[in-house]
Amino acid sequence: MKALVFPGQGSQFSGMGSDIYNSNAQAKELFEKANGILGFRITDIMFTGTDEELKQTKVTQPAIFLDSVIRAIIAGDGLKADMVAGHSLGEFSALVANMSLSFEDGLKLVAKRAMAMQKACDLEPSTMAAVLMLDDEVVERICKETEGVVVPANYNCPGQLVISGGIDAINTACEAMKAAGAKRALVLNVAGAFHSPFMSPAQQELEEAIHQTKFSTPTIPVYQNVNALPSTDPATIKQNLINQLTGAVRWTQTVRNMVADGATEFIEVGPGKVLQGLVKKIEVSVSAESYAVA
């Protein structure tokens, strides 16, 4: 069985999407439609912008979404799959791929999400840190024992868990992680504490937008970040999408559940090859590759 997986923030690079824009009429039409919806020419930044320009909140998330979703749309039946999942932002791409969301509605929600998250980041200083080569249970315990707000945010693969929270709490937790045997506990250069209680203001803003958006019954199940379980129920999908902003991305558990349900081939659709690498570390027996337009 084939699974499509879609990357999240951090996979962007200058020039992304230009190959299909210049070679495929349908892709060009969709990119131009996106420019109109967003109210600025995101394609100019995607194709020729600097890394700093691509890091702008209003650009990063929509850019990754567009590169991912447009590749999936123009591939059509060539990427026919049995299940989908996405890492954080990538869950929105997955929901367009399985027909839960329209291209237009997916883009509007992603743009809304990006700006709401930026506003939440600006309210109070916060950050994230990557913890390497320490058991998840130990990381979870240290987070609970640390004073202040610090929580597991991204279960990326065995031996790689990202934590999220207040700056002082993160620094304290990192020292405790290293003392407990972590190979590294590295504070990341990010705008704020994603997938933590610090995103509550953004969650409230996004919840309203999600409830105002039409979600259809999907053609294939989406395995969602917050519980790593498959869903085809629009109401459940919407609630999990809302909970995702403050809940952890359970990517390790998601991939394992997809394999348990029959997935033998994972195709990463979108910029970069991050998920391809994570899938191979989680389940070494499965095929994982990225999709490239011929």
DSSP calls for 163-218: EEEEHHHHHHHHHHHHHTT-SEEEE---SS-TTSGGGHHHHHHHHHHHHTS--PPP
Q: What is the torsion angle, in degrees rounded to the nearest 10, for the CA atoms of residue 91, residue 93, residue 96 and residue 98?
A: -60
Partner residues linked to 2 by β-bridges: 265
Q: How far apart are CA 120 and CA 115, in angstroms?
A: 9
Question: Is 195 marked active-site?
Answer: yes
Q: Which one of 68, 93, 195, 231 is the catalytic residue?
A: 195
Say how many Å lie between the first and final Cα of the chain, rounded: 23
Within 7-148, strands assigned E span: 83-86, 126-132
Q: Which amino acid is at 258?
A: M
Q: Which one of 11, 88, 126, 290 is the catalytic residue?
A: 88
Residues tagged active-site = 88, 195
